[in-house]
Structure 1
Amino acid sequence: MKMIFWFACKMLLGNSKRAIFPFLGVVGGITALIMSFSLGAGGEEIISTNLSAIGSNRIMIGGQEMSARDMQIIENYPFVEYTLFPGARENSGNNIFIGYSQKALMALGLRNLGDREVILDKNQFPDKQPGDRVDLVTENGVRSFTVAGIYEEKNPFELMKQGNRIIVSQGYFERLFGKYRYNELIVSFDKNEDAEDLIPLLLKRFNEDRRSYGQVRLLETPEVYKRIVKIQRMVKNTLGILSFISLCIGGFGIMNLIAGGVRARTGHIGILRAMGMSRENIVKIFLAEGVIISIIGSLSGVIIGVIGAILSGKLIMIPPQFNVLQILFALVVSLAFGIGMGVYPARKAGNIAITDALRDI
């Protein structure tokens, strides 16, 4: 076996220019696979986190003169997780005060809040801990609050807005800013419920329970979130197809290298066969060429792919996630391509008759 690989290495070194194309094809294919796997996994986690933060199973309804009473009515429905008034937010200086219902706080994993108790974003108040006092600017001047909890905002729409996020209870928000009426209400359903099926039931039941307070209507459905999921799958599948195409190009390059080597070394094959080398060993030598290119190209592709994924991740703000099993899968696929694509021309080399091969000397 050592002799076979020695012959294969000598043949590659003697034909290095022809070997560059399949080598680069394998490197490119593995690099693309590693980058698409790692960045795809990182992007998928970000999208999943963002969808969870946005609320993929919720709707927005609208009506005149909606109040905390309407919030309580809907939150009593067994299929509703929580409700939220988008208009329950006020800017005071560099602070954004946001009113949350008790159920909305529970959905965040936070406890209910009393008067002058706040929950702060840990990225905006890194030095604050639960139990600390904090002075904040409000419409009525600077007031002292107790930090009841710390959370990390993940909703991409919230992160794009300027200002320090201050969460207070819905009741205290209304008393603090004198804002008791709203035109829009977000309703988040339990994760196991189908929002599309529950929309007609919710609107009918809620309008009946409101009685003479006016009709509400549907403003926004979960369809937008389903579209994001479809786009996510489409991008992931496209990256996988492009990576596979790159690997195929490398595989065909290996086949072309071995076929070209057979044509260029027909005379050498005749000499080796005349000296007693078996057909089987001739086949193994040419197959070894493909294996060597596949192994070296794959290892180089893994290194370049990891470095490329890290650098690209910093550029596009997507942290790559590397999976050892996926890397091993890429290596196995590359090696299989190197051997598979080299079988036909290698067997052709072994089947050349000695007399025909010696005529090319």
Structure 2
Amino acid sequence: MKNNFLLSVVIPTKNREKYASATVEQILNINDDRIQVVIQDNSDTRKLSNLLIKHDNNKRLKYNYTEGTISFVDNFNLAVSQADGEYLCIIGDDDGILPQIIDVVLWAKKNNVDAIKPGLNAVYFWPNSEALRGKKDDGYLSINQITTKAKICDPYYEVVKLLKQGGQNYLSLDMVKLYHGIVRRGCLQQIRETTGKYFGGLSPDIYISVALSLTVNKLVEIDFPLTISGICNKSGSSDSATGRHTGKLEDAPHFRGHKEYNWSELVPKFYSVDTIWADSALAAIKDLNKLDLIKYFNLEFLTINCLLKYPQFKDTIFLCYKSYSDKNYMVKVINSAKYTTFKINNIFKKVSRKIIRKRSDYYHINGIVNIIVANETLQKRLVVTGIDTNTMIKSLDTVINS
């Protein structure tokens, strides 16, 4: 059935068999032969393979096991290389998809749209996902307001914005997303032909987001959750919440499986979400030979951000900034003001989200035991709110024809 799939849902995984098997089950429960599921497994054991034996005869599932230590990035590269669909979507092994996703992919193909950026309106917290913070629960689903509003984006300009804010907060920008997004295979092939790989850097998410944003011709955003973002007690989100995403650069788990790696001279050499993002964004620009964009990278912005958030690494941060310290005082003042404005805007957004969660259009339900039930619950909520596929497609048609 190679090349007969319209969409490949690609899932790189390692040592999270319980969640990955449930995610596979949830997707295969969507009875649509146009959707392929690709599992790239680098677990320490073959436990996941055993859990998926019952699906051995299902042509929609492609499972590949790679033994030994490989990098996070290499696991993503292997995952995408296994996919057969015309369009690809990467999700985590604790996430899920909505059946409406195939209707949007069909629309994208019909209208020659390279990429779709859906809303992240639905988040599922697996049971005891916050146990590391002393909280225990039976799982819950949070759904933000869904408007189905659509717009055409300019991802190239968004990359420039990303660089001007020191490579930070890329998720808030209208860039192409392969992770929880939809992208035409041909765009990924263009990147591979130029760089020799699909993913580089240390963070595959932001690397491919930057690379695709500099590659696609047409990106459309729709305020509708085509995927469900899952959070479990083994996820990166939990690590961030407990401060385990900070430390010496040589201790970063991202380096596992890398024989050698050239860290950007523009980024302070310590391990944090902020520095990993900045370095991986710059790696994508370098690999694509878009070096003219480096001039937009705001090192002062990144420096101030890191000093405020990680004062324990101030010596490392100042060492990186030292070679740029001859810039005039006014430039520093301006960039400091820009950073202050940026932080105030972020605080405002966080407060706004908290206010939204108290409104009637924010939905929260407990007792959601797995991702399968999460999707079923979300589908019922869509019926109650009167949001259907026709509404979404009509919104997409309006923006593409305007």
TM-score by length of 2: 0.20
Q: Which has the higher helix share?
A: 1
TM-score by length of 1: 0.22
Structure showing greater radius of gyration is: 1
Q: Which has the higher contact order (CA 8 A, sep 6+)?
A: 1
